[in-house]
Chains A and B, each alone.
Chain A
Amino acid sequence: MNTENLIALLVAAPLLGAAVLLCGGRALDRVGHLLGTLLAAVSFVIAVVLFSDLVGKSPHDRTLTQHLFSWVPVEGFQADVSFQLDQLSMTFVLLITGVGTLIHMYSIGYMEHDERRRRFFGYLNLFLAAMLLLVLADNYLLLYVGWEGVGLASYLLIGFWQHKPSAATAAKKAFLVNRVGDMGLSIAIMIMFSTFGTFAFKPVFDSVGDTSQGKLTAIGLTLLLAACGKSAQVPLQSWLGDAMEGPTPVSALIHAATMVTAGVYLIVRSGVIFNGAPDAQLATAVVGAVTLMFGAIVGCAKDDIKKALAGSTMSQIGYMVLAAGLGPVGYVFAIMHLVTHGFFKAGLFLGAGSVMHGMNDEVDMRRYGALRKYMPITFATFTLAYLAIIGFPGLSGFFSKDKIIEAAFAKGGTEGWILGITAVVGAAVTAFYMTRIMLMTFFGEKRWVPDEQGNEPHPHEAPSSMTIPMLVLAVGSVFAGGIFSLGDRFLKWLEPVTGHTEGHSPISTGAITGATVACMLIGMGVAWVMYGRRDVPALAPRGSLLTRAARRDLLQDDFNHVVLVRGGEHLTRSLVYVDHTLVDGVVNGTAASVGGLSGRLRKLQNGYVRSYAVSMFGGAAVIIAATLLMRAV
C-alpha cells in the first residue's frame, strides 16, 4: 500500500469520531470518551508511520501528495480536495495528533463528572480533523475550510459550559474577533486568485517572482490580518483571555498548543510571498514584537491562573510571529519555538487544570498557596514546564527562544536592535510572570477558602489519566529543544521547505545568550522579592496605574468598546439619520408633492358641465393650433 493514501486517513479518523459521537446519541455515553481518544491515537499512529516513511527518503524528496477528489471542477476555477504532506506539515501533524491524543486522555479524567462528556469528545475530534485539514491542505481554499473548522470547534468548546453566561459571551467574542481575521484570509485568497488565477500552493509560489511587489504586499498584509485573528496578535488579541472560560483541556489543546499557532503556520507556509514583500514582513515582525510585550505585561497582572497563562501564550506566539517576520532567517526557529511551546504550554495548562481539579475549580491564585506538598506530580511537571518556558539553560525554551532573539538581532540596523532588545526584555518579563505564578500557586502559606457551597477544598493529586499526559509533556518540555538543536537537526529537517539563511548578528552569540539568561535571572529575582519573600495578600492591592491597566487587559476591551462598539453605534446612528432625513425625505417629499398637486388639480372637476365644455373647446383649439403650426413649420 502506498503511504500517500494514508494522508486522508489522518483527517478521516477524527472526523469519523466526531460524526459518530455527535450523531450517536446517549447510547454512546459510556464509551464515547474511549472512542474519541482511540481515534485520536489512530491518527497519531498513522502520523508516526508517515513520519518514518518521510525520514527514509532523501531530504528534497520528502513531499507526499494525495489527490482525493475535485471539489469545484469549473473551467478557470479548479478547487481540489488534495493533500500535501511535507516536512512542515509533518511537524504540525505530529504535534497536533501527539499533544491532541495526550489531551484526549487527560480529558477522560478531567471531564469525568460532566454529563455531556461524549459531546465534548465529539467536539475535540472535530477540532483535530479541522486542524489536520488546515495543515495538510495543498491549496489556500482547502486551508480556509480547515481554518473555519477550527474556528467553529473553538467556538463550540469555549462555550461548552454554555449555561454560564460568561462562557457563552466569551465564545461569541472569540467567534466575532476571529471573523475579522477570517475576512483577511478570504480577501487574501481572492487577491491570489485574481493575480495568479489559482490558489494552490505550488503554482502560486512558483509565479511569485513575476508579480509586482504591491500585490505581494497586499496579500502579505491580509494574510497577516488572518494570522492576527487566529493567533490572538495585536490588534485582534482581545478574545484569547476570555477564551479561558472553556474547559482547561480545551485551553491547553486549542488555545495554547495548536489552533492559536495556525497563524504562524500560515505565515511560514506563505514564506515565499512574504519574502517578496519586505513591508509585510516588517509589519509582521512589529506585530510580533508588540504582542510579545503586550501579552507578557497582561500575564504579569492577572490573578486568574488561566488568564495569566493566556497572556503568556499571546506573548510566546508573539515571539513566533516575530521570528516569522524576520524571513528565512527566522522561519525554522518560529516553528521550532512553536513545537517546544506546544509541549511546555500544554503542560502548564494541564497542570493548571490539575490544580483547579483539586481546588474545587478555584482559579484565583491568591486562594492557592503551598500546593507543592499536596500535588507532588503536578508540582514537578509544572516546574519543568516552567523552567522550559522561561528559557532556563538546557531546557526546550532556552534553545528555541535564544535562536529567535539572535535572529532578531541579526536583522541588522536600528530595527534589529529594537526587535532584539524587545525580545530580551520580553524574556525577563516572562521569567517574572511565570515565577509569580509558581510562587503564588505552589509556595508560601495556604490561602484556601471554602467555595460558594461551603465546601472546604481538599487538594489531592489528579488521577493517573491526567498525570500521565502531564508527565509525557514534561519530558517533551525538557528534552525537545535539546534534541532539535543537537546537530541542527530541526533546521536540516525543515530547511528544504522553508528555506534558511544564516543570520549574522552585530553582537556575538555568547553575549546574547548571556544577556538573555541574566535578564531571566533578574525577572525571577524580582518576582521572588515581590511574591516569595512577602506574604501574598488575599485581596489584590490597588497597584500602580500600569498594573490596573494590565488587569483590564491593557484596556483592550475598553479600546474596542470605545472605538468599535461606540464607533459602530455612532456610524449606524448617523446612517439611520441619513436614512430618515435624506432617503425618507426624498420618498415622502415626492409623495407629498404629488398629493398636493392632485389636491389643486381636483378643483378643476367642479361638476359644472359648461366648464368641462370650456376645457374641451380650449383643448381642441390648442390641438388644432398646434397642428397648423407644425404644418406651417
Chain B
Amino acid sequence: MNPVNYLYLAALLFTIGAIGVLIRRNAIIVFMCIELMLNACNLTFVAFSRMHGNLDGQIIAFFTMVVAAAEVVVGLAIIVSLFRTRHSASVDDASLMKL
C-alpha cells in the first residue's frame, strides 16, 4: 500500500482535531481533539519514517506518546478542578483571564 495514503489519513485526523478544538465547548471533547491532533502527528512521523527508511521518526513518535501521557495527567487534573469549582465543563465559562 502506498505510504502516502497514511499522510492523507493523518491530515484528515488533524483537521478533525483542529475543528473540534475550535468549535466544541466541552473541555473533555476539546481535550480528546487535542489528543487526536497529537496522534495525527504521530502517524505522519511513522509514515515518513517508513518512506525514508529512517528510524528517527519512530523514536520521536515514542517521545510524543510520553509527552501526551504527561499532558493527559495535567489536563485531566485541570478539568476536574474546573468542574469542581464551576459545575461545568464548558471552556467558555473559564474566561476570567482578560483585561
Interface residues of A (CB under 8 A from B): 602, 605-610, 613-614, 617
In contact, A614 and B98 (Cβ under 8 angstroms): no
B22:A607 contact, CB within 8 angstroms: no
| B1-51 interface (Cβ within 8 A of A) | 18, 21-23, 25
Contact B95 A606 (CB under 8 A): yes
Whether B96 sits at the interface, judged by CB under 8 Å, is yes
| Complex CA–CA separation, A613 to B98 (angstroms) | 15
Least Cβ–Cβ distance between A428 and chain B, in angstroms: 90
The answer to whether A617 and B22 have CB atoms under 8 Å apart is yes
Check A609–B98 contact: CB distance below 8 A: no
Asked whether A617 lies within 8 Å of B18 as measured between CB atoms, the reply is yes
Whole-angstrom CA separation of A601 from B97 in the bound complex: 16
- Closest-CB distance, A483 to chain B (whole angstroms): 97
Q: Is B91 at the interface (CB under 8 A from chain A)?
A: yes
Q: B87-99: contact bitstring with A at CB < 8 Å (1 yes, 0 no)?
A: 0000110111111
List 26 A–B pairs whose Cβ atoms lie within 8 Å, in order of A's numbering: A602-B99, A605-B98, A605-B99, A606-B95, A606-B98, A607-B95, A607-B96, A607-B97, A607-B98, A608-B91, A608-B92, A608-B95, A609-B91, A609-B94, A609-B95, A610-B21, A610-B22, A610-B23, A610-B25, A610-B91, A610-B92, A613-B21, A613-B22, A614-B22, A617-B18, A617-B22
CA distance A302 to B21 in the complex (A): 100
The proximity string for B residues 72-99 relative to A, scoring 1 for CB distances below 8 Å and 0 otherwise, is: 0000000000000000000110111111
Closest 5 CB pairs of A and B: A607-B98, A607-B95, A609-B91, A608-B95, A607-B97
> Within the assembled complex, what's the spacing in Å between the Cα atoms of A614 and B91?
14
Chain A residues near B21: list those with CB within 8 A.
Answer: 610, 613
CB distance from A623 to the nearest CB of B (A): 15
In the assembled complex, the Cα of A608 lies from the Cα of B23 at a distance in Å of 12
Q: How many residues of B contact A (CB 8 A)?
A: 13
Cβ contacts under 8 Å, B23 to chain A: 610
A610 to chain B, nearest CB (A): 6
Q: What chain A residues lie within 8 Å of B18 (beta carbons)? A: 617
Q: Given the complex, which residues of A lie within 8 Å of B22, measured CB to CB? A: 610, 613-614, 617
CB distance from A617 to the nearest CB of B (A): 6
Chain A: interface secondary structure?
helix
Contacts of B97 in A (CB 8 A): 607
User: Which residues of the partner chain B approach A608 to less than 8 Å between Cβ atoms?
Assistant: 91-92, 95
Q: CA–CA, A610 to B94, complex, Å?
A: 11
**A606 proximity list for chain B (CB < 8 A):** 95, 98
Q: State the Cβ distance, B17 to closest chain A Cβ, in Å.
A: 11
CB distance from A326 to the nearest CB of B (A): 84
**Nearest CB of chain A from residue B81's CB, rounded to whole Å:** 16
Shortest A613–chain B CB gap in Å is 6
State how many angstroms separate the Cβ of B32 from the closest Cβ of chain A: 15
The distance from the CB of A614 to the nearest CB of chain B, in whole angstroms, is 6
Instruction: State how many angstroms separate the Cβ of B78 from the closest Cβ of chain A.
Output: 11
The smallest beta-carbon distance between B30 and chain A, in angstroms, is 8
The residue in chain A whose Cβ has the minimal distance to the Cβ of B34 is: A613
Known: A610-B25, A610-B91, A613-B21. 13 other contacts (CB 8 A): A605-B98, A605-B99, A606-B95, A606-B98, A607-B95, A607-B97, A608-B91, A608-B95, A609-B91, A609-B94, A610-B22, A614-B22, A617-B22
Q: Which A residues are in CB contact (< 8 Å) with B99? A: 602, 605
A609 to B23, CA, bound (A): 11
Question: Once the chains are docked, how many angstroms separate the CA of A607 from the CA of B99?
Answer: 8
Which residues from A are CB-within-8-Å of B92? 608, 610
Q: Which residue of A lies closest to B91 (CB)?
A: A609
CB distance from A415 to the nearest CB of B (A): 82
- The residues of A that contact B91 with a CB separation of less than 8 Å are 608-610
Query: How close is B23's CB to chain A, nearest CB, in angstroms?
Result: 8
Smallest CB-CB separation from A608: which chain B residue?
B95
Q: Which residues of B contact A609 (CB under 8 A)?
A: 91, 94-95
Residues of B contacting A605 in the complex (Cβ-Cβ under 8 angstroms):
98-99
Q: Cα distance A617–B25 when bound, in Å?
A: 17
Say how far A507's CB is from chain B's closest CB, in angstroms: 97
Q: How near does chain A come to B43, taking the closest CB pair, in angstroms? A: 19
How far, in angstroms, from A613 to B17 measured CA to CA in the complex? Answer: 12
State the CA gap A602–B98 with chains docked (Å).
Answer: 9
CA distance A409 to B55 in the complex (A): 115
Chain A residues with Cβ below 8 Å from B95 are 606-609
Complex: A605 Cα to B97 Cα, angstroms: 8
Contacts of B94 in A (CB 8 A): 609
Question: Measured between alpha carbons, how far is A439 from B93 in the docked complex, in Å?
Answer: 108
Residues of B within 8 A of A617 (CB): 18, 22
Bound together, the chains give a CA A618 to CA B86 distance in angstroms of 30
Instruction: Tell me the nearest residue of chain A to B23, going by C-beta.
Output: A610
Tell me the bound Cα distance from A277 to B23 in angstroms.
92
Contacts of B96 in A (CB 8 A): 607
Q: What's the nearest-Cβ distance from chain B to residue A624, in Å?
A: 13
Q: Write the nearest CB–CB distance from B6 to chain A, whole angstroms.
A: 20
- In Å, the complex CA distance between A332 and B48 comes to 108
Residues of chain B within 8 A of A614, CB atoms compared: 22
Rounded to whole Å, the gap between the CB of B8 and the closest CB of chain A is: 18
Min C-beta distance of B57 to chain A, whole Å: 20
Report B94 CB to chain A, min CB distance, Å: 7
Q: With a CB–CB cut-off of 8 A, which chain A residues contact B25?
A: 610
Q: Report how far A610 CA is from B91 CA in the complex, Å.
A: 8
Nearest A residue to B98 via CB reads: A607
Q: How far is the CB of B85 from chain A (nearest CB, A)?
A: 16
Q: Which residue of B lies closest to A606 (CB)?
A: B98
Alpha-carbon separation in the docked complex, A610 to B22 (Å): 6
Chain B neighbourhood of A607, CB < 8 A: 95-98
Cα of A64 to Cα of B92 in the assembled complex, Å: 101
Cα of A610 to Cα of B26 in the assembled complex, Å: 11
Complex Cα distance A610/B18, Å?
11
